[in-house]
Amino acid sequence: MKVKFWGVRGSIPSPGPHTVRYGGNTTCIEVRSDDDTLIILDGGTGIFPLAQSLLARLPVAANIFITHTHWDHIQGLPFFTPLYIPGNSVTIHGAHDIISGQGIGQVMDVQLQYSYFPIREAELRAAISYETLTVGAPVVVGDASVTSTLLNHPVINLGYRIDCNGKSVFFTGDHEPEANIYEPEDEGYAEYQHHVEQKQAGIEAAMRGVDVLIVDSSYTVEEYPAKRGWGHGTFDGAIAQARRVGAKQLVCTHHEPTRSDDELERVFAAAVARAGRCPGDPEFLLAYEGLEIAI
């Protein structure tokens, strides 16, 4: 199995001289199973350069798994060039939207309204299908199995575990570890703490023993208090979680868009130094556009 990063920034694209090394595109990850089945995690602006690379390998059969429908994770979908080419097939997988009451099919319908985009969905030439997922139910694509887990974000966000011939990858999408909404002295604290611990145990069970754990690590521990409730995690939290679940590699991604490459390296190094090194630790990596991992 192979993993390649095409977009690693969060919230908004951030091109420019200060983001050249790590890249300014928003979230998109390519996974190739052992039999070369194409799985794409999220459709941020990084999906456009991925699409260009696929044109040399027509026809394309792609399975796109959307973690959630915030703009930075879907805004590249209308620019996924294989959608416009007859003979290609694209299946878009994702969650039921409890606010609109619709399935994942709305992800293209909303973006391709003529007021916002010059091409309508009816003009796409690939064979396009939509699969609204049942959380926790594996989906078989080629020789791989993709299982969704509900994570914590202001909208429904699915983390995905991909298993293939004994190898595995887990991607959180956007995720903020859940916290107790009560103070320790409040009457409801103990009951809610039990809920928090159960939820955390379920998430970490889904991550257990993965070869590659890809985690939303937007903030430093110093920044986090001002960002609480925004739905994103920290470098320190990602390192601690990777240790708990026994991941072999941790890849920190969804980089804060205002953070330069130099600053990104500095705060990541500081988090790793705080954590120290323990026997059996994962390899700690910062995601960058073009990073490839073979499992």
**pLDDT tens, position by position, 146-161:** 999 999 999 999 999 9
- The pLDDT confidence band at residue 165, using thresholds 50, 70 and 90, is very high
Between 98 and 163, residue with greater pLDDT: 163
Give the number of residues written for the chain. Answer: 295
Between 41 and 191, residue with greater pLDDT: 41
CA 244 from chain centre, in angstroms, equals 20
CATH class given for the domain over 2-285: alpha beta
**pLDDT tens, position by position, 17-26:** 999 999 999 9
Q: Which residues pair with 150 in a beta bridge?
A: 158
How many angstroms separate the CA atoms of 197 and 220, rounded?
23
pLDDT at residue 111 is higher than 90: no
pLDDT at residue 185, as a whole number: 87
Tell me 97's DSSP state: -
Please state the rounded mean pLDDT for residues 162-169: 98
Site of tokens 């990104």 = 264
How many angstroms separate the CA atoms of 26 and 204, rounded?
25
Domain chopping of the chain, boundaries: 2-285
pTM value is 0.96
